[in-house]
Amino acid sequence: MTGAELDTALARCVAAGDAVRMEGFSFHLSGYAVPPRVELAAALLDRCLAARTMGLQADRISIGGGFAVDYCAPADWYAFLAAQRPGHYHADRTFDPAGFYPYHSPVAGADALRAVLAGTTATGMDRAPRTLADRLRDTGTLLLLEPGRALLAGAGASVFRIQGVKDRAGYAIVTVDGTSLSLSEQWFNSEFLPQPVLVGPDGRATGDAAHPTCVGGASCLESDLLTWRKVPFPRRPQPGDLLVYPNTAGYQMDSNESPFHELPLPPKVVLDRTDGRPRWRLDRRPAP
């Protein structure tokens, strides 16, 4: 909404009386930079204070989401960005490096929230800049946010069984019992770059040579690839092997898989390590 539209909306809230409870303002930004969030949060705080003078509640702001997850070391991330090229992907596909999720983020998770709260904003020509946290506290304003995948950083793994292997010039394509909808980076024309681990029925994960392999899904779509990148597995994949993608709890989006594929939603296995030795159980939804 533009500034003029916000003014009109507030006037209508006042006119509506008790029929409308105007609680505050919100925004949602793309990317993960801290300064724009601090700047907009401060602007919304000023909006709240002005709305209160009109008799409206206006006691909270939402800065949306999300907070980044730091998946890898900075040296590994920057080396990948510098080296990646179309030949590293099936069909010589190109990816815009700017479109990748920032798999290394210098400020991530709870540290990102700390940075936002510690950000300073000017409060008038005759007053020194103050932190956003101080302004929220002094004005009694509640901060709402959507941390997104940062809430589950380091947790979860997605496991796919290999159904078939097709050899191509210098690499292989494996088909797994899942679809690209299970790893939502493909929704954003990107890749889920943390490398999957290849595990055989006997637990064997290594061999004596590198076997570049990309990973296709089980649907009829040519675009249904979980991994376009030719991952150098330490041995040749075989039907029945498992592919384990790490750290996917925050963005495993299989709940949105299309029912017309007639694929059951993957079961969820919960590992419980709170009482001595690890235990596992299936995570079942209660009956309605």
Rounded Cα distance between 230 and 222, Å, is: 16
- Mean pLDDT across 226-239: 94
pLDDT of 205 over the 70 cut: no
Q: What pTM, to 2 d.p., does this model score?
A: 0.83
Predicted confidence at residue 129, as pLDDT, reads: 85
pLDDT digits (tens, 9 = 90+) for 74-119: 999 999 999 999 999 999 999 988 889 899 999 999 999 999 999 9
- C-alpha–C-alpha distance, residues 63 and 65, integer Å: 7
Helix extents (H) in the chain: 3-16, 34-52, 74-83, 109-118, 132-139
The backbone torsions φ and ψ at residue 80, rounded to the nearest 5 degrees and listed phi first, read: -65, -45
Closest CA to 133 of 113, 154, 106, 155: 113
Tell me the CA distances in angstroms from 162 to 103, 165, 175, 273, 282, one per residue in order. Answer: 26, 8, 6, 29, 22
- What is the DSSP-derived secondary structure letter of residue 173? E
> What percentage of the chain has pLDDT greater than the value 90?
63
Please tell me the distance from the alpha carbon of residue 90 to that of residue 115, in angstroms, as a whole number: 39
Per-residue pLDDT tens digits for 20-41: 999 999 999 988 999 999 999 9
Give the whole-angstrom CA distance, residue 89 versus residue 235: 19
224, pLDDT greater than 70: yes
Distance CA 130, CA 127 (A): 9
**Longest CA pairwise span in the chain (Å):** 75
In angstroms, the CA 18 to CA 10 distance is: 13
Token couple for 227: 């991994």
- Report helix, strand or coil for 204: coil
Rounded to whole angstroms, the Cα distance separating 283 from 215 reads: 27
Distance between CA atoms of residues 201 and 195, nearest Å: 19
Determine the distance from the C-alpha atom of residue 235 to the mean position of all C-alpha atoms in its chain, rounded to a whole number. Answer: 30
DSSP 88-132: GBGGG----GGGS--SS-SS-HHHHHHHHHH-EE---TTS--EEH
What is the distance of C-alpha 24 from the center of its chain? Answer: 26
